[in-house]
Amino acid sequence: MKTILTGIKPTGKLTLGNYIGVLKRLKDFQNQGECYIFIADLHALTLPIEPSELNENSIDIACFYLAAGLDPNKITLFLQSSVSAHAEMAIILQNYLYMGELSRMTQFKDKSSKMNKNSIGLGLFAYPVLMAGDILLYDADEVPVGEDQIQHVELTRDLVKRINNRYGDVFKMPSAKFNKVGARIMSLSDPSKKMSKSDPKGDIFLKDDVKTIRKKIMSAVTDSGCEIKYDEENKPGISNLLTIYACMKNISIEEAEKVFNGYRYGDFKKCVADAVIEEIEPFQQRYIEIKENKLYEDVLRQGALKANKKSQEVLNRIKEKIGLLKA
Ligand code: ATP
Ligand code: LTN
């Protein structure tokens, strides 16, 4: 049976991009293999964050995972920080990843370019080291992520080759699993940019009320043409809305284009808003129920027990291979 692992970092309010890129797909993954799903709270510390915000976001992500249909009897859901093997693994792996390759990571370049050079944390630079450890600790075969995280999974693959070459078969080779459609949902106000929770202009938040969602979609930036056609280069706004619609309806882009043949932009946007609301409204109701009844608490506790057990096995394996003595 294959093992599937993914995480989301609790850095802000989740967006429709997070939903389409990862959350929505997890329900199917849980029937395809053993799933380890976590809240990457240690990763959230790589940029300054208020303690209360980190707390609140972490609870929200746990509730959103469950609202997306994850069944705690089928999967292991946990907080990264409640499994100390993640920190220990990162300390070991940091010696096998090089500063040159880490400095070429797009996420690091993007985030650090917006900061004062003297206050870029070591953790931000070493982000992919911690992430590689997350993946390797559970012998993951598949890692469902959005497009921006593929580079980190590729780096993990390079690391596996490096370590296995030197010490024999220690780690399983993981691969990134991303959507053909919807791996990169773009901002509604600037469709040349990714919809991202740390850059909230142009986002649809999963907690937005229905009226706000409709308003944001109706005022999404498009172009001066009149054809509803997928063309990322010349019609990025329309292409993004077509992608959102196709993902909501589980159809291909070609099918979505056919639906809207001859439509005016305004009518098209209304249909996109209807499709998003139809799916997100019941999802939001499940989220509220889970949060109010604190249904996540027991799930996280049980999840930590299971994740600790599995990750210790793998941690012991690498420790032994590299020559750390067991007392
Ligand atoms: P931040 O802005 O804080 O970097 P983010 O919005 O990019 O956050 P992450 O926590 O980095 O969100 O991402 C969680 C998961 O959602 C990742 O697998 C990521 O690839 C995916 N994801 C994020 N944004 C999008 C998007 N716009 N389209 C598709 N997938 C996305
Ligand atoms: N970097 C990811 C979160 C993350 C992750 C992981 C995803 C941390 N560790 C391991 C998949 C596998 C992000 O969402 N930005």
Q: Is the CB of 194 under 6 A from ligand 1?
A: yes
pLDDT (0 to 100) of residue 179: 85
pLDDT (0 to 100) of residue 173: 98
pLDDT (0 to 100) of residue 247: 96
- Measured from the Cβ of residue 219, the count of other Cβ atoms closer than 10 Å reads 11
Cβ within 8 Å of residue 315, ≥6 positions away: 85, 88, 89, 137
Task: Report the predicted TM-score, pTM, of the whole model to 2 decimal places.
Answer: 0.94
Q: Over the chain, what is the mean pLDDT?
A: 96
Q: Is the CB of 185 under 6 A from ligand 2?
A: no
pLDDT in tens, 232-245: 999 999 999 999 99
Q: Is the CB of 145 under 6 A from ligand 1?
A: yes
Q: Is the CB of 222 under 6 A from ligand 1?
A: no
pLDDT in tens, 26-85: 999 999 999 999 999 999 999 999 999 999 999 999 999 999 999 999 999 999 999 999
pLDDT (0 to 100) of residue 196: 86
**The tokens of 213 are what?**
């969602």
Per the annotation, the verdict on 197 as an active-site residue is: yes
CA 22 – CA 32 distance, rounded (Å) = 15
pLDDT (0 to 100) of residue 59: 98
Ranges of residues in the chain with a pLDDT under 50 are none
Beta bridge partners of 205: 15
CB 36 within 8 Å of CB 70:
no
pLDDT (0 to 100) of residue 180: 85
pLDDT (0 to 100) of residue 169: 95
Output the CA 73–ligand 1 centroid distance in Å: 26
pLDDT (0 to 100) of residue 41: 98
Which residue's entry shows tokens 């030197």? 166
Output the CA 37–ligand 1 centroid distance in Å: 15
CB 153 within 8 Å of CB 132:
no
Residue from 26, 148, 192 whose mutation best tests the ligand 1 pocket (most atoms within 8 A of CB):
148
Cβ within 8 Å of residue 146, ≥6 positions away: 17, 18, 21, 22, 178, 179, 183, 184
What is the 3-state secondary structure of the chain? CEEEEEEECCCCCCEHHHHHHHHHHHHHHCCCEEEEEEECHHHHCCCCCCHHHHHHHHHHHHHHHHHCCCCCCCEEEEEHHHCCHHHHHHHHHCCCCCHHHHHCCHHHHHHHHCCCHHHCCHHHHCHHHHHHHHHHCCCCCEEECCHHHHHHHHHHHHHHHHHHHHHCCCCCCCEEECCCCCCCCECCCCCCCECECCECCCCCECCCCHHHHHHHHHCCCCCCCCCCCCECCCEHHHHHHHHHHHHHHCCCHHHHHHHCCCCCHHHHHHHHHHHHHHHHHHHHHHHHHHHHCCCHHHHHHHHHHHHHHHHHHHHHHHHHHHCCCCC
Output the CA 54–ligand 1 centroid distance in Å: 16
CB 258 within 8 Å of CB 271:
no
